[in-house]
Amino acid sequence: MAKRLYVGGLPYSTTQDELKDAFAQAGTVESASIITDKMSGRSKGFGFVEMSTDAEAQKAIEMWNGKDFGGRKLTVNEARPMEARAPRSGGGGNW
C-alpha cells in the first residue's frame, strides 16, 4: 500500500518532476504534487509524495529529512490525514 509523505521547505521554483525524480532515489514514486496558491498559482513551498511501500517511504524520510534541496532544508515526514475545517463565513461583503 502506498505511503503518503509531507515534504516541506521546498524551493518555490521546484517542479513536480524535480520532486518526483529526487524521491525516486529512495524507490518507486506513485505520485508527487506541489501545493500552489489558488489565486496566484505560485508554489506554497510544500507538497506530497506517495511512495509505493512503507519501506520506501521510510527510506525517503531518512534520505531527505533535514537535507538541503535547492538551497533549502527539507522537512519530510508521514503525512497526517487532512483535518476537517469549519466552513468559512461570508466574504461577500453583504452586510
pLDDT tens profile 8-50 = 999 999 999 999 999 999 999 999 999 999 999 999 999 999 9
Contact 18, 30 (CB under 8 A): no
* Through-space distance between the first and last CA atoms of the chain, rounded to whole angstroms: 50
Q: Can you say whether the dihedral through the CA atoms of 40, 8, 52, 13 is positive or negative?
A: positive
Structural domain spans, the chain: 3-78
pLDDT tens profile 69-81 = 999 999 999 998 8
Could you tell me which CATH number the domain at 3-78 has?
A: 3.30.70.330
Residue type, 71: G
